[in-house]
A = this chain, B = another copy of it.
Amino acid sequence: MNAPDTGPTTRDRILNAAERLFAQRGYYGVTIRQITREAGVDVALASYYFGPKADLFRAVLERRAEELHGAILASIDAVEKRAGDRPPGVESLIRAFAQPSIDRLVRGGEGWRDYIHMMAGLYSSQQSEFLVAMNDMYTPAMRRVMELIRLSIPTASERSVTLSFYMLLTAVISIYSETVGLERLSNGTIHPTDFDAILDHLAPFFAAGFHRMASV
């Protein structure tokens, strides 16, 4: 669409800047003027392309959702295939669910990092309008994981698996946010960016929990 040296379009420049700033300071912590300043474009262009601020926020949220959600579903499918006729193990399902986000966080460039930080910040906010919108974008993948865990642990009730999955979800999302919490808790010996090490701990840790609640 563009000549090779023009870089991103104005629309994308605004989305990129908004993504970065919303990730750092949340919805209310950012003004449209800061966004357009950061993007190097005129203030009026934000309204021109996106309308009000809330719509710009939603546009940022939606831009990468389809790709990431698709990657998570594909990752779950791959684990299913590898398991053959039997249901895949819980630990591998946890890994399949978390890995695509971590891949993009680590190797997807700044844009993906900002996007995932932004989602993590949103998840525990009281901004329930945006929160529900985001939740809905990833619901099919979450339901699929819960379904497969139930096949893997048939004695566990739906309620038990839902509660356990929620615990998993909150932990995974906190890890995506790379906050200083873990670093301070460990006196600086564990870095929030050691995602591989953290996932190697998290996966068996939570798998054990799911199995423990198998009879509930």
Interface residues of A (CB under 8 A from B): 23-29, 117, 120-121, 123-126, 128, 131-132, 135, 139, 142, 159-160, 162-167, 169-171, 173-175, 177, 179-182, 184-186, 189-190, 198, 201-202, 204-213, 216
Q: Are B181 and A26 in contact (CB under 8 A)?
A: no
Closest chain B residue to A184 by CB distance? B135
Q: Is the interface of A mostly helix, strand, loop or mixed?
A: helix
Bound complex: CA A160 to CA B197 (Å): 11
Q: List 6 A-B contacts (CB under 8 A).
A: A24-B126, A124-B125, A159-B189, A163-B182, A163-B198, A170-B175
Q: A14–B169 Cα gap in the complex (Å)?
A: 36
Known: A28-B29, A205-B167. A128 touches B212 (CB 8 A): no
Contact of B167 with A171 in the complex, beta carbons under 8 Å: yes
**Total copies of the chain:** 2
Q: Which among B27, B29, B190, B207 is the interface contact of A159 at CB below 8 angstroms?
A: B190
> Taking CB as reference atom, which chain B residue is nearest A178?
B126
The answer to whether B131 and A179 touch across the interface, beta carbons within 8 angstroms, is yes
A116 to chain B, nearest CB (A): 12
> B128 touching A179 by the CB < 8 A rule?
yes
Q: What residues of chain B lie closer than 8 Å to A204, measured between beta carbons? A: 212-213
Look across to chain B and name the residue whose beta carbon is closest to the beta carbon of A165: B185
Q: A204 CA to B209 CA in the complex, in Å?
A: 8
